[in-house]
Amino acid sequence: MEKTLKRNRGQHDSLSDKIVRYRGVLLVIALPLLLITFLLFLSRSPSDSVGSLNRKFSPNFGSNKYAVIFDAGSSGSRVHVFCFDQNLDLVPIGNNLELFHQLKPGLSAYPTDPEAAANSIKPLLEKAEAVVPQPLHPNTPVRVGATAGLRQLEGDAPDRILQAVRDFLKSKSSLKSQPDWVTVLDGSQEGAYEWVTINYLLGNLGKEYSETVGVVDLGGGSVQMAYAISESDAQKAPKLSDPEDKYVQEMYLKGRKYYLYVHSYLHYGLLAARAEILKVTENSGNPCILAGYSGSYKYGGAIYSASPLPYGSNMKSCRDVSIMALKVNESICTSMKCTFGGVWNGGGGDGQRNLFVASFFFDRAAEVGFINATAAPVAKVRPADFESAARDACETGLEDAKSKYTSVSADNLPYLCMDLVYQFTLLVDGFGIDPQQEITLVKQVEYQNSFVEAAWPLGSALEVVS
């Protein structure tokens, strides 16, 4: 009976009785826990609580990165603003996948006034800064890439203009700038960036080189060709006199190595080529000038006579002069196969099979109406289409052309026959493209249900944020 009573009491012990009874066990468990908690408290940064408040009430821009790229071309200045996520996919800025604005003239229009050249980009800079979130300004790179227009200025004019732009960005902009981010792009850089841009937008990067597209970019001062080639063709590339100048660049993109053939032809952009064509006939009449025009053409600080022959412009004669300007038959080709001017053509191959042709090619085609630019910023054509359009233009006098080609500006109209003939000659005689081969004229490329400018600045932006 006594044993039963003790067992019943034990069943009804209070919580305090249990704590007293097992206090030794509890102390063994609790002391290490208390020690760990104390050490964790000491290791906390005193600013943690403040930081957590700041994070709670500060705007969160995630891992997005912005880049501001100025394209300082011969025909004008343009600004591109891009935003990338952590996977380097483009993120919309407002309703578009980039901010794009342009103005004329370009930096090269101020050869004797560097400060005026730098100040000319101020309206574009203000538009760019307005779309980049203020807290991200200090970490957002701004690059200025000058192209052929500035390359062709004489003396120290290019260096003085570039330094004025560096000083302008340092004093007037809250974006991140570095001296070596304001440069004259060499033609190879421009062509490589253009190739990266178009293949990035098409989703080709990371695929076999044979699945990429080649690019021809006709600017105002120069024209670039770039396309991926096989490793075996890359090993056949001729050595150039300047060891820093190469026909082939090795690029690692999306986990794949590419051998990129790229070459830039200075003096053979559309505006520069006019000067080269006029040089052939010097002070006599030129068969590429529309009848009814008599004047002069100014380019790169020089002035050229621009008068037609008595019978006006002529398609065949203009083509003969264009071939002479390209020096197709005059230069010695020391490689297995050349384009023009004795330049190696890269060997051809699958990377050149699908060709995207940009800039002035698209513009002139749209202006004369053999593509509909309002329907889409991309169109499939053939080089022969430029020949057909050139034939029509060359048979038209200046007065009739004013009513026939209403989309062509007044300052370009006298040279319409010349421009179209040159574009056909460049593709067929210069680059050796079959007149009936299908090519893609492109101004913008569709990407994620939006259209993005098919221009080199996106390639530069991808490099600077990577």
Cβ(106)–Cβ(124) under 8 Å? no
Residue type, 282: E
Helix (H) or strand (E) holding 77: strand 77-84
From the number of C-beta atoms within 10 Å of its C-beta (0-12, 13-18, 19+), residue 421 rates as: buried
What single DSSP character describes residue 231? H
Instruction: Provide φ and ψ at 258, rounded to 5°.
Output: -120, 145
- Of residues 198, 207, 259, the one with CA closest to residue 230: 259
**How many other C-beta atoms lie within 10 A of the C-beta of residue 128?**
24
| Omega before residue 59 within 30° of 0, cis | no
Longest distance between any two alpha carbons in the chain, whole Å: 141
Helix (H, G, I), strand (E, B) or coil at 162: helix
Choose, from 98, 129, 190, 387, the residue flagged as catalytic.
Answer: 190
| Cβ-count burial 87-126 (b if 16+ within 10 Å, e if not) | eeebeebeeebbbbeeeeebbbbbbeebeebbbbbeebbe
Using CA atoms, how far residue 82 sits from 72, 91, 403, 453, in Å, is 17, 8, 40, 11
Distance (Å, whole) CA 445 – CA 140: 25
Our answer to whether residue 244 is catalytic in this structure is no
Cite the active site residues.
Answer: 190
